[in-house]
């Protein structure tokens, strides 16, 4: 364990701390593992253990909280009957290894995913979405180890595209990131329980978020494809329109952007200025931010002749941040992290938010109104889209 906080220590104090930590690492590497200890790498799924549960809902939920199996909200008891019913939503073998979920690298199987789906209140037809999402978060590009253990308030969000969104009732219109829709709430929560109970990201333990955020309970919506003037996200990423997909992303929060701008240039100017804030980790590493555009804002941009590619290019330019706005320590981090990309970085350097304009993602979602949402993304994470298969 590395003692915290060490961000306020001097370099000499950090050297002393590092020498102790290195000695601990060497000692642990050279100490034979105790009998029965799991080897490194993917942990075998094994068989699920049945426990005797209590009939009283309050006592049962207290049992789950004591064992750290819950997220703090009431759960549906995952009885064998409910898990069997959930497994009927997928054609995969119950013990097939779907993915290895960081940071514990335990094997996720349909059965184990189904347990967490039951707890979150999912219906069996939701299971293929969760299986696809679990595969997607385990993709190296997503950097789940970083997302699960960072001090950033990173949530894991889901965006559902294609026919399955309508079939399951996933909301992509008004209040799509808020309450009121069973599928949105249950799907987002079930994936969070998978990340906690299979991936081992227990709050305050492996999950080191300084404050966290409400999106870590549930974060799920559909794209409002019917109201979008452009091709949907999954079509932009190479899938057929009739294919159902899930996209995983790691948002650090939601910033409401309320503007009545009625022409594209003015709208891009104020959105770009909103994106450019000096405490953003996107500028330190070159990130992959997201914008959830309201249909009204999307149509303003489309009416003035802009494609998605055009919007990304213009936002990439409009969101450049003067390096002088950064804290001195953060400027040093940028100079180390982005020197190969940008060359010499001085306070006068205008920093792009991402390596390329294409790294900015656009999603059209929401209902009526002049509100869009900016989603900063956890530093080294990149969103991943996967097909949902029965």
- What span, in angstroms and rounded, lies between the C-alpha atoms of 174 and 188? 17
Res 28: pLDDT: 87
Contacts 24+ apart (CB under 8 A), 89-96: 89/114, 89/123, 89/124, 89/125, 89/126, 89/127, 89/128, 90/127, 90/128, 90/131, 90/390, 91/390, 92/131, 95/45
Res 124: pLDDT: 98
Res 318: pLDDT: 98
Secondary structure (DSSP) of 126-163: GHHHHHHHHHHHTSGGG-HHHHHH-SS----EEEEESH
Res 40: pLDDT: 47
Q: How far is CA 181 from the centre of its chain?
A: 20
Burial of 335 (0-12, 13-18, 19+ CB in 10 A): middle
Q: What percentage of the chain's residues is helix, strand, coil (to nearest 5)?
A: 40, 15, 45
- What span, in angstroms and rounded, lies between the C-alpha atoms of 276 and 262? 21
- Look at the block and give the residue holding tokens 């309508």: 166
Closest C-alpha among 302, 305, 310, 315 to residue 269: 315
pLDDT mean values, one per 10 residues, the chain (390 residues):
75 87 88 61 68 86 94 96 97 96 96 98 98 98 95 96 98 97 98 97 92 97 98 98 98 96 97 96 94 98 98 98 96 95 96 97 97 93 96
287: helix, strand or coil:
strand
């Amino acid at each position: 364990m590395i003692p915290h906080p060490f961000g306020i220590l001097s370099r000499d104090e950090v050297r002393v701390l590092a020498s102790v930590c290195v000695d601990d690492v060497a000692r642990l590497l050279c100490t034979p593992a105790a009998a029965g200890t799991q080897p490194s790498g993917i942990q075998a799924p094994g068989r699920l253990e049945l426990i005797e549960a209590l009939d009283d809902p309050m006592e049962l939920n207290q049992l789950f909280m004591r064992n750290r199996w819950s997220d703090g909200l009431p759960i549906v008891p995952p009885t064998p009957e409910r898990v069997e019913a959930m497994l009927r939503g997928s054609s995969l073998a119950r013990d097939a290894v779907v993915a290895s979920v960081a940071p514990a690298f335990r094997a996720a199987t349909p059965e184990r995913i189904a347990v967490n789906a039951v707890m979150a209140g999912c219906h069996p037809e939701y299971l293929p979405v969760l299986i696809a999402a679990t595969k997607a978060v385990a993709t190296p590009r997503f950097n789940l180890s970083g997302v699960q253990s960072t001090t950033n308030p990173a949530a894991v969000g889901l965006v559902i595209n294609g026919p399955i969104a309508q079939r399951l009732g996933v909301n992509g219109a008004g209040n799509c990131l808020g309450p009121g829709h069973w599928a949105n709430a249950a799907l987002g929560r079930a994936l969070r329980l998978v990340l906690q109970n299979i991936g081992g990201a227990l709050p305050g333990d492996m999950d080191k978020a300084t404050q966290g955020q409400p999106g870590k309970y549930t974060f799920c919506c559909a794209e409002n494809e019917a109201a979008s003037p452009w091709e949907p996200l999954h079509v932009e990423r190479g899938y057929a329109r009739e294919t159902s997909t899930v996209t995983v992303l790691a948002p650090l929060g939601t910033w409401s952007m309320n503007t009545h701008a009625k022409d594209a240039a003015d709208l891009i100017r104020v959105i770009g200025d909103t994106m450019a804030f000096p405490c953003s980790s996107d500028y330190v590493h070159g990130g992959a931010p997201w914008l959830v555009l309201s249909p009204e804002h999307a149509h303003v941009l489309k009416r003035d002749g802009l494609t998605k590619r055009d919007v990304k290019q213009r936002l990439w330019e409009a969101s450049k941040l003067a390096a002088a706005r950064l804290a001195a320590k953060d400027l040093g981090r940028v100079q180390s992290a982005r020197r190969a990309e940008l060359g010499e970085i001085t306070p006068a350097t205008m920093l792009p938010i991402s390596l390329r304009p294409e790294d900015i993602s656009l999603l059209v979602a929401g209902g009526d109104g002049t509100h869009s949402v900016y989603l900063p993304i956890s530093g080294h994470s990149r969103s991943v889209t996967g097909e949902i298969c029965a």
